[in-house]
Structure 1
Amino acid sequence: MYFQKYIRNIRKILSYKLFTGLVFSVLGLLLFAILYTDVKPETYDMELFSVADKTIRSPKTIEDEEKTAEERNKAAEEVENVYVHRKEVAQNRVLLLTSIFDFVNEVNKEESAKKKEAEESKAEKEGSQLASSKLALLKSKLTADVTEDVTETISDQTLLQLLEADPSELEKARNILVSNVETIMNGKIREDQVNNVSSDLIGRIKSAGLEKNVENASIELGKYAIIANEVYDPKLTEERKQQAMNEVEPVKILQGQIVVQEGHLIDRDIYRQLDTLGLLKSKPTIKPFIGLAIFVLLLIGALYIPFTKLNEPEEKKQSYLLLLGIVFVGAIVLMKIISLMEGLEQYDIAYLFPAAMAPMLIRVMINERFALLMAIILAACGSIVFHDGISGTIDVEIALYILFSGLAGIMFLSDKSERFNLLRAGLLVALVNVLLIFFLQFIGSGQITNMEYLYFIINGVVSGILSAVLTMGILPFLEAGFGILSTMRLIELSNPNHPLLKRILIEAPGTYHHSVMVANLAESACEAIGANGLLARVAAYYHDLGKTKRPHFFIENQMNMENPHDKLQPATSKDIIIAHVTDGAAELKKHKMPKEIVDVAKQHHGTTLLKFFYYKAAETSDDVEESDYRYPGPKPQSKEAAIISLADSVEAAVRSLNEPTPEAIRSLVDSIVQDRLLDGQLNECDITIKQLETIKSTFCETLSGIFHSRIEYPGNKEQKVM
Structure 2
Amino acid sequence: MKDFINSLYRNHSLVYKILLYISATFLIVYLFPKSGKFKYNFERGKPWQSENLYAPFDFAIKKTSSEVNAEKNEARNQAILYFNLDPDVKQQVTASFLEQYKSVVPDSLSNTTKSNLKEVGGDVIDKLYKKGVLDQDYDFSLNKKVVILENRIERSSGIYSDLTKQSDLRTIINSELVKKNLEEYFNQFTSLFFDIVEPNLTYNKAFTEKALKNELSKISYTRGSVERETLIISKGEVVEGDKYQKLKSLEAEYESQVWSDSNYNWIVFAYTLLVALALLMLLLFLRKYRQDVFDNNTKVTFIFFNIFLMVLLTTLVVNFDAQYIYVVPICILPLVLKAFFDARLGLFSHVITVLLLGSIVSNSYEYMFLQIIAGIVTILTVSELYKRANLFISVGQITMIYIVAYFAFFVIHEGSVENLKWETFGLFVLCGLATLFVQPLIYVYEKIFGLVSDVSLLELSDTNSKLLKELSNKAPGTFHHSLNVANLAEASANEIGANAMLVRVGALYHDIGKMKNPTYFTENQSTGINPHDELSSKESAGIIIDHVINGIEIAKKNNLPDRVIDFIRTHHGTSVVYYFYSKEKKINEQVDKLDFSYPGPKPFSKETAILMMCDSVEAASKSLKEPTSTKIDNFVENIINKQMAEEQFLNANITFKEIQAIKKVLKHKLANIYHLRIEYPE
| Shared fold, TM over 0.5 | yes
Residue-by-residue CA offset, 1:514-547 (whole Å, 9 max, x unaligned): 1232233334445556655543333222111112
Equivalent position of 1:364 in the other structure: 339
Equivalent position of 1:588 in the other structure: 555
Deviation at 1:506, TM superposition (A): 4.0
Equivalent position of 1:476 in the other structure: 443
**In structure 2, distance between residues paired with 1:314 and 1:605:** 24
Q: Where do 5+ consecutive residues of structure 2 fail to align?
A: 1-5, 39-51, 60-228, 234-241, 676-682
Equivalent position of 1:175 in the other structure: none
Q: Does 1:250 align with 2:247?
A: no
Q: 1:259/1:372 Cα in 2 relative to 1: closer, same or farther (>3 Å)?
A: closer
Deviation at 1:13, TM superposition (A): 4.8
Q: Is the 8 A contact 1:570 1:617 kept in 2?
A: yes
Q: Which has the larger radius of gyration?
A: 1
**In structure 2, distance between residues paired with 1:382 and 1:514:** 52
Q: Is the 8 A contact 1:650 1:669 kept in 2?
A: yes
Residue-by-residue CA offset, 1:455-504 (whole Å, 9 max, x unaligned): 545432221121121x2122234345555554444444334344433433
Q: Does 1:550 align with 2:529?
A: no
Number of aligned residue pairs: 477
**In structure 2, distance between residues paired with 1:561 and 1:625:** 31
Q: Is the 8 A contact 1:364 1:417 kept in 2?
A: no
Q: 1:371/1:255 Cα in 2 relative to 1: closer, same or farther (>3 Å)?
A: farther
2:55 alignment partner, one of 60, 64, 67: 64
Q: 1:490/1:280 Cα in 2 relative to 1: closer, same or farther (>3 Å)?
A: same
Q: Is the 8 A contact 1:526 1:532 kept in 2?
A: yes
Q: 1:674/1:438 Cα in 2 relative to 1: closer, same or farther (>3 Å)?
A: closer
Three-state SS of the structure 2 residue aligned to 1:659 is: coil
Deviation at 1:632, TM superposition (A): 3.0
Q: Which amino acid aligns with 1:25?
A: I
**In structure 2, distance between residues paired with 1:67 and 1:489:** 63
TM-score by length of 1: 0.56
Q: 1:678/1:367 Cα in 2 relative to 1: closer, same or farther (>3 Å)?
A: closer
Equivalent position of 1:23 in the other structure: 20
Q: Is the 8 A contact 2:327 2:430 kept in 1?
A: yes
Identity of aligned residues (%): 27
2:380 alignment partner, one of 403, 411, 414: 411
Three-state SS of the structure 1 residue aligned to 2:289 is: coil
Deviation at 1:682, TM superposition (A): 4.9
**In structure 2, distance between residues paired with 1:416 and 1:283:** 49
2:329 alignment partner, one of 331, 354, 365: 354
**In structure 2, distance between residues paired with 1:671 and 1:416:** 38
Deviation at 1:429, TM superposition (A): 3.0
Equivalent position of 2:306 in the other structure: 327
1:424 alignment partner, one of 368, 393, 396: 393
Deviation at 1:577, TM superposition (A): 2.5
Q: 1:551/1:368 Cα in 2 relative to 1: closer, same or farther (>3 Å)?
A: same
**In structure 2, distance between residues paired with 1:661 and 1:12:** 58
Q: 1:590/1:401 Cα in 2 relative to 1: closer, same or farther (>3 Å)?
A: same
Q: Is the 8 A contact 2:478 2:524 kept in 1?
A: yes
1:509 alignment partner, one of 476, 481, 484: 476
Q: Is the 8 A contact 1:423 1:465 kept in 2?
A: no
Q: Which amino acid aligns with 1:310?
A: Y
Equivalences for 1:652-691 in 2 at 5 Å?
A: 652-676=619-643, 681-682=648-649, 685=652
Equivalent position of 1:467 in the other structure: 435
Deviation at 1:334, TM superposition (A): 1.1
**In structure 2, distance between residues paired with 1:650 and 1:31:** 52
Q: Is the 8 A contact 1:427 1:464 kept in 2?
A: yes
Deviation at 1:685, TM superposition (A): 4.7
1:279 alignment partner, one of 230, 246, 257: 257
1:339 alignment partner, one of 315, 318, 326: 318
Q: Is the 8 A contact 1:430 1:462 kept in 2?
A: no
Residue-by-residue CA offset, 1:5-42 (whole Å, 9 max, x unaligned): xxxx999653666554443333322221111347589x
Q: 1:637/1:324 Cα in 2 relative to 1: closer, same or farther (>3 Å)?
A: closer
1:644 alignment partner, one of 589, 607, 611: 611
**In structure 2, distance between residues paired with 1:629 and 1:701:** 32
2:30 alignment partner, one of 33, 41, 55: 33
Equivalences for 1:203-282 in 2 at 5 Å?
A: 250=231, 256-257=245-246, 278-279=256-257
Q: Where do 5+ consecutive residues of structure 1 fail to align?
A: 1-8, 42-60, 69-247, 261-269, 388-393, 709-722
**In structure 2, distance between residues paired with 1:706 and 1:506:** 24
Deviation at 1:431, TM superposition (A): 4.2
**In structure 2, distance between residues paired with 1:601 and 1:584:** 6
Q: 1:510/1:369 Cα in 2 relative to 1: closer, same or farther (>3 Å)?
A: same
Q: 1:400/1:652 Cα in 2 relative to 1: closer, same or farther (>3 Å)?
A: closer
**In structure 2, distance between residues paired with 1:691 and 1:404:** 32
TM-score by length of 2: 0.59
Equivalent position of 2:49 in the other structure: none
Deviation at 1:65, TM superposition (A): 3.7
Q: Is the 8 A contact 2:463 2:469 kept in 1?
A: yes
Q: 1:36/1:591 Cα in 2 relative to 1: closer, same or farther (>3 Å)?
A: farther
**In structure 2, distance between residues paired with 1:288 and 1:446:** 39
Q: CA RMSD in A?
A: 4.3
Three-state SS of the structure 2 residue aligned to 1:559 is: coil
**In structure 1, distance between residues paired with 2:374 and 2:582:** 65
Q: Is the 8 A contact 2:283 2:294 kept in 1?
A: no
Q: 1:396/1:416 Cα in 2 relative to 1: closer, same or farther (>3 Å)?
A: closer
1:539 alignment partner, one of 501, 506, 517: 506
Residue-by-residue CA offset, 1:410-466 (whole Å, 9 max, x unaligned): 3331255534423432344344445556666665469879xx84x545432221121
Three-state SS of the structure 1 residue aligned to 2:26 is: helix
Three-state SS of the structure 1 residue aligned to 2:32 is: helix
**In structure 1, distance between residues paired with 2:356 and 2:19:** 22
Residue-by-residue CA offset, 1:170-225 (whole Å, 9 max, x unaligned): xxxxxxxxxxxxxxxxxxxxxxxxxxxxxxxxxxxxxxxxxxxxxxxxxxxxxxxx
Residue-by-residue CA offset, 1:584-613 (whole Å, 9 max, x unaligned): 111222233332321221222233333434
**In structure 1, distance between residues paired with 2:254 and 2:329:** 38
Q: 1:533/1:294 Cα in 2 relative to 1: closer, same or farther (>3 Å)?
A: same
Q: 1:468/1:641 Cα in 2 relative to 1: closer, same or farther (>3 Å)?
A: same
Q: Is the 8 A contact 1:356 1:407 kept in 2?
A: no
Deviation at 1:381, TM superposition (A): 4.1
Q: Which amino acid aligns with 2:544?
A: I
